Structure 1
Amino acid sequence: MSVEINRDIDKFQESVVLGLTAKQLIASVLSILIGGVIVLLSCKKVGLTISAYIAIPVVAPIALSGFYSYNGMSFMQMMKKRIHFMFKVKPLVYRSTENVSELKEIALQMEAEKKKAEISTEGKSNKYESDKKDSFEKTKKKMIRVLIFSTAVVIAAIGIACGCKFL
């Protein structure tokens, strides 16, 4: 005799009817009953289509409360959290502890360091630029050689394929 056990025991759901859990079954029955009552009561006055449109916003939260879950929360729990965060949570405001004079000093120090770096790299930059140009020219020549070689290989492959076709 063997007993099958789900690997994830947290997600195990015991079905009551037609593969639905008790919560899903109750939500389904309630949504069908409430939707049917709304449609039957309003059908004669506004028509079938509009009465269905009236019933959908009422029935949808009931059905979602039985079937929908997000991060282990039911639909109602999630909506309560969303409403709480939308209206009750105050926005966070940053207030700087530095004053203007300290920020000006920091800016002056950064400018001084930048000028020192520019002075020390002036001689090096000319050499760096010429090395960059040489490297670019070498890469350009290499790419041209590769392009010519690959074109020759493709033409040769086409010639071989055509030659084999006529044999």
Structure 2
Amino acid sequence: MVIEVNKDVDRYQESVAFGLSAKQLIFSAASLISGSGIVLLLYPYIGITGSAYVAIPVVAPIALGGFYSYNGMSFYNVMQRKLHMMFGNKALVYVSTESEASIKTYQVVEVGKCKKSVRPVEQNQNKKQEEFEAMKKKMKSIMIGCIAAVALAVAGTVVYKIFH
């Protein structure tokens, strides 16, 4: 005797009819009734296509309410949070508590403490600048080589097309 058990027990859902849960079945029926009602009411006035276009924005949120789930939240909870994030949050503003005078005072104190270590910092910056310039030259030569390779490939293709 073999009894099949879902591998993901947390995602198990009991089906009521047609493989749908009770919530999905109720929302499906509600969206079907509202959509068909809108189409039947508007069909004589604007035709089938126009009435379908009017019904879709009404039916879609109803249907999503039964089927859509994100991180355990329903469609309506997700939309409520998104709307709150868009319109309910205040803008965060940073206001500095330091003035220019206090920053300059701090810099003077730090320079006074670190007079001995100024030289290694300058040497380190010079070394980084030299490395940057060397890398720039290397990159320039690589770019020229790539452009030359592409130009040779194009020229070879043109010559091949001409002679064949």
Tell me, yes or no, whether TM beats 0.5. Answer: yes
Kindly report which structure 2 residues correspond to 1:17-166, keeping only aligned pairs within 5 A, or say none.
Answer: 17-107=17-107, 116-117=118-119, 121=123
Supply the AA of the counterpart residue of 2:29. V
How far did 1:93 drift?
1.7
**TM-score (ref. length: structure 2):** 0.65
* RMSD between superposed Cα atoms in Å: 3.4
Supply the AA of the counterpart residue of 2:58. V
Distance in 2 between residues matched to 1:10 and 1:119, nearest whole Å? 58
- Percent identity for Structure 1 against Structure 2: 48
Q: Residue deviations 1:82-138, cap 9 Å, x none?
A: 11222222122222222221223345577886993378639xx69xx6xx98xx9xx
Gaps of 5+ in 2: 138-164
Distance in 1 between residues matched to 2:37 and 2:11, nearest whole Å? 34
**TM-score (ref. length: structure 1):** 0.64
How far did 1:15 drift?
0.9
Distance in 2 between residues matched to 1:117 and 1:108, nearest whole Å? 17
Distance in 2 between residues matched to 1:41 and 1:119, nearest whole Å? 80
Q: How many residue pairs are counted as aligned between the two chains? A: 130
Runs (4+) of structure 1 moved beyond 4 Å?
Answer: 106-115
How far did 1:4 drift?
3.2
Q: Tell me which structure has the larger Cα radius of gyration.
A: 1
Supply the AA of the counterpart residue of 1:74. S
Gaps of 5+ in 1: 137-167
